[in-house]
Chain A
Amino acid sequence: MRFVDEFRDAALGRAVAAEILSLLEPERRYKVMEVCGGHTHSIYKYGVDDLLPANVELVHGPGCPVCVIPMGRVDDGIVVAREEGVIFTCFGDMMRVPGSEGSLLEAKAAGADVRMVYSPLDALRIARQNPDREVVFFAIGFETTAPSTALTLKRAKAENVTNFSCMCSHVTIVPPLRALLESPDLRLDGFIGPGHVATVVGARPFEFIPADYGKPVVVAGFEPLDILQSIAMILQQLEDGRCEVENQYKRVVPYEGNLRALEVMGEVFELRPHFEWRGLGFISQSGLKLGEAYAEFDAELRFRVPGVRVADPKACQCGEVLKGVIKPWECKVFGTACTPERPIGTCMVSSEGACAAYYNFGRFAREREVV
């Protein structure tokens, strides 16, 4: 398959792994954060970490859209879903995220009309097909998904679909990265930048990381060779004493991003003053809401939403996992009380969650020797 097979070449992978080894200082430990959950999934699906020397540690970042949704937000969605006459739509993995009293899937089992969609455009189609019902789309995700929601809302407005609304929980990637970089818990040597977010926002928004924090960033694709090459590029920067944003994913990511997508997002959304992230708490200007021109489609204005903050279960350590402070298998409930079939925390729900990636690909513990 074009654009895929050539990035899964095992011989090339071993060659890049050898290049990585040649770039290391033997006594130094390196910590590299892959920001995006898609990278985490690929790393464990393809065994990328098995090709790395033991003194290169991959730390998993907060870029899994489902994982960062707090419990209170799920509870809000369930309250709306239970409203008389509502068809509540969301992506499939969002249905399984636990709230304080169950998930949207459990609400569906109890009688709420909750439907899985692949795209917000599917939700809009359901609204057209059901003019006597209120159709709500639970919008989650980073800048990768937000343009899709924005285009859907523009279409709804143009077609005057008045029974459609959106519960906007979109988030942006730069504020949590800054919060992580300010955290005293974490010492990182570089970042594998989120390739799909960068498709939309470009590589420029990540320039603050080398400029303000002195860490290299390499925006990377999602195939195993992409990830290995991006690690080599980070290590090469460290060896050269350079510190900049580089773009490994040039086949997809223009340095300036997708200007049309940014324009549409700017037209439809505005920044919230604060938004709560699971594990990271409230982060300023990190969430999106519908702007004034689209307020008529804002489900939070159309329905009564409790908006109550709910603490995570005490046993769940998703917060530490999302901050890269612990590995999934270090969580007390990983693989025992918390599994993909019965998740306690969000990181075990989505395939992009670090806990699900570790569980699904057999990483129940890891002891490695430094080379």
Chain B
Amino acid sequence: MTIVRLGGDHELALCADADGVRQTVEVGLLDDPTEGAAVLVHAGVAIAALDQHGASR
């Protein structure tokens, strides 16, 4: 999913999947969540931000 909008406390974020379906996701486990970042969401919680550099290797 992609972070569309971050909540003020950076604990919750509105995220969208590839089809545009939006869902509120807990992002408190990420180091530095940013809008536009691709994240791996499991059971309503973002457990990792995807790394474009890692993907290209």
A110-123 to B contact mask, C-beta < 8 Å, 1/0? 00000000111110
- Chain A nearest CB, measured from B33 CB (Å): 11
Bound together, the chains give a CA A118 to CA B42 distance in angstroms of 9
Q: Is A141 an interface residue (CB 8 A)?
A: yes
Give every chain B residue within 8 A of A251 (Cβ-Cβ).
Answer: 50-55, 57
Q: Is B13 an interface residue (CB 8 A)?
A: no
**Do A147 and B55 touch (CB < 8 A)?**
no
Q: Is A151 an interface residue (CB 8 A)?
A: yes
- Chain A nearest CB, measured from B18 CB (Å): 5
Q: Which of B27-45 contact A (CB under 8 A)?
A: 28-31, 38, 40, 42-45
Bound together, the chains give a CA A76 to CA B51 distance in angstroms of 42
Q: Is A366 an interface residue (CB 8 A)?
A: no
Give every chain A residue within 8 A of B53 (Cβ-Cβ).
Answer: 251
Chain B interface category by residue count: 20 to 34
- Chain B nearest CB, measured from A113 CB (Å): 21
**Do A144 and B42 touch (CB < 8 A)?**
yes
Bound together, the chains give a CA A1 to CA B55 distance in angstroms of 13
Assuming the contacts A147-B45, A251-B52, A252-B50, asked whether A260 and B28 have C-beta atoms less than 8 A apart, the reply is yes
**Do A119 and B44 touch (CB < 8 A)?**
yes
Q: Is B14 an interface residue (CB 8 A)?
A: no
**Do B38 and A3 touch (CB < 8 A)?**
yes
**Do A119 and B43 touch (CB < 8 A)?**
yes
**Do A252 and B54 touch (CB < 8 A)?**
yes
Q: Is A253 an interface residue (CB 8 A)?
A: yes
Q: Is A314 an interface residue (CB 8 A)?
A: no
**Do B48 and A260 touch (CB < 8 A)?**
no
Assuming the contacts A2-B38, A144-B42, A147-B29, asked whether A200 and B47 have C-beta atoms less than 8 A apart, the reply is yes
**Do B40 and A1 touch (CB < 8 A)?**
no
Q: Which of A236-269 contact B (CB under 8 A)?
A: 250-254, 258, 260-261, 264
**Do A196 and B44 touch (CB < 8 A)?**
no
Q: Is A339 an interface residue (CB 8 A)?
A: no
Interface residues of B (CB under 8 A from A): 18, 26, 28-31, 38, 40, 42-45, 47-48, 50-55, 57
